[in-house]
Structure 1
Amino acid sequence: MSQNNRGDGNRSARERLQQQRERDKARDRQRRVLIVSSAVVGVLALAAVVGVIAANADKGGGSDKAGPVVAPTGSVEGDTPAIPTGRPDAPATLQIWEDFRCPACAQFENVMRDSIHELEASGQLRTEYHLATLIDGNMGGSGSLRAANAAACAQDAGKFTPYHDALYINQPQETDDSFGDNKKLIELAAKVPGLDTPAFRSCVEDGTHDSWVVKSNEAFQKGGFRGTPTVLLNGESIFPTKGNEQLSPENLKKWVAEANKGKKPGTASPSAG
């Protein structure tokens, strides 16, 4: 074999080896995408099952505390009180019914949080958070109520979103009622710059919004929902599925885009709180 033929053969072998490596890399990338996608679907499917179980076991989750209903600053009132986030004139509305002790809610938040924030920031989506306390009724304790009151206090301070996220990121085990300790809730406020103030501490310790949270939970009970989280896009349930499609960050963005087709994104600044 001539030197040229040997050189051509070496190059051909190297090219074939390089092509095989690229094919292997492509298969690996595809496999990783499938694994991640399956994990997201699995987490949200599990969250749906856990949420239904929690709802079926619910014993009320209310509170014996009597007192005037003190709504958080900028809250949505009426029959289904809520805390709004995002631009008030965004064309699409996401309603989320959650319980801060609910592990399924934490799973939902940890998967979907970034996408919801991104859609809110672009003016595509307005979110209404409805606070429920069903785990207190299921498991005993007061962590659902105490955490919801603290989140409402954070709303007064204009810090609801980061504190809401901190609660879910640091959620204890469902059987651990550490959120029932106001000291723990104030400790977590330190993770949100500017939140740990005398006004916030007083609001948490006094249970300023307890009766408002009870009212919100009563709306959940009357709503006939299957469990937490319950997620509605423009009034249509999308958790764990919308039609035949599974909820995922990508599908949420697609569904919001479809709902907003031909509509301008919101530009109004959120109200105080």
Structure 2
Amino acid sequence: MSNRPSGKNPLAAAEAADKKRKIAIQVGVAAVLVALVAAIGIGLAVKKSDSDTESTATSAAQLPATGGAVTPTGSVVIGNPDAKVKVRVVADLQCPACKKFETANGRALAEAAANGTASVEYQIISFLDKASTNQYSSRAANASFCVAKSDTTKYQSWLQAMFEQQPAEGGAGTSNEGLIKVATDVGYTDPAVATCINDKPYNNDIQRFTQATLQSGVESTPSVYINGQLNQTDAIFTENGLASVIADAAK
């Protein structure tokens, strides 16, 4: 006959219950930590997304909105055409040096046009189709006409955005859908702009204007003229380098 007492051991039962409580507490703490980490991660992701969106929007809209006109020869003139200083920029949107120029002096030109110090004439030509596999140069030049004829007040912001997403030489340039997105992102929401970019109605005009520009003596892009004089100084590739050039010309 066994000497073991009948029923459960009170001490063992207490230890088992205590162990269960500890496990429950640990599981609960772990769940809270996981939820907290997830919440922090989501918060950071949302914050980054908002920051990226804000950065993109700021980048696309940071230049002054200044009106202008499209000339019969295909140039886009921003600012007062009677301003004392007249800046002319000849560029190809596929040209890496033109991107470097825009990065350095896009804001200086926008501010000069906005405050009336200078008018800025942009002559977008197309001779670098050979630098892409899908005629990006001429399609981008056509898009320049499309947006400028729709609304010149956003043209410099559009130009800035175009250079920011400039494709590398030798590969496929941005599709028409991509060009439409760039235009839409800076505020060209009129469906006519998208239709214009897809249909390329200015293609023949662009080829004619490009040929005439090259025959006039323009040998490279960017070519930057201040009151008719070609500027070949380091100012065109120096950050805000043209600001002092324009200020001196305005005296």
What TM-score range do you get, normalising by the shorter chain?
0.5 to 0.7
- CA distance in 1: counterparts of 2:99 and 2:241, whole angstroms: 19
Q: Which residue of 1 aligns with 2:52?
A: none
Deviation readout 1:118-153 (Å, 9 max, x if unpaired): 111110111111111121145554101101111111
Segment of structure 1 superposing worse, 139-148 or 100-109: 139-148
CA deviation after TM superposition for structure 1 residue 155, in Å: 0.7
Match of 1:106 among 99, 105, 110: 99
SS at structure 1 position matched to 2:123: strand
Aligned residues: 182
Over 3 Å counting, the alpha-carbon distance change for 1:240 and 1:142 in structure 2 is farther
Residue type matched to 1:176 in 2?
G
Deviation readout 1:170-197 (Å, 9 max, x if unpaired): 1111222323x2111112123112x133
CA deviation after TM superposition for structure 1 residue 88, in Å: 2.0
Over 3 Å counting, the alpha-carbon distance change for 1:249 and 1:122 in structure 2 is farther
CA deviation after TM superposition for structure 1 residue 259, in Å: 1.8
Residue type matched to 2:182 in 1?
L
- 5+ residue gaps, structure 2, are 1-67
- CA distance in 2: counterparts of 1:188 and 1:246, whole angstroms: 25
Q: Which residue of 2 aligns with 1:238?
A: 231
Instruction: Say yes or no: does 1:206 pair with 2:196.
Output: no
Over 3 Å counting, the alpha-carbon distance change for 1:221 and 1:98 in structure 2 is same
Q: Which residue of 1 aligns with 2:250?
A: 260
- CA distance in 1: counterparts of 2:79 and 2:166, whole angstroms: 24
Match of 1:186 among 180, 183, 188: 180
- CA distance in 2: counterparts of 1:106 and 1:148, whole angstroms: 14
Larger fraction in helix: 2
Q: Structure 2 length normalisation: TM-score?
A: 0.66
Identity across the alignment (%): 27
Instruction: Say yes or no: does 1:74 pair with 2:64.
Output: no
CA deviation after TM superposition for structure 1 residue 202, in Å: 1.0
Give matches, 1:1-273, under 5 Å.
74-78=69-73, 81-137=74-130, 141-158=134-151, 159-179=154-174, 181-193=175-187, 195-241=188-234, 248-249=238-239, 251-261=241-251
- CA distance in 1: counterparts of 2:245 and 2:75, whole angstroms: 23
CA RMSD of aligned residues (A): 2.1
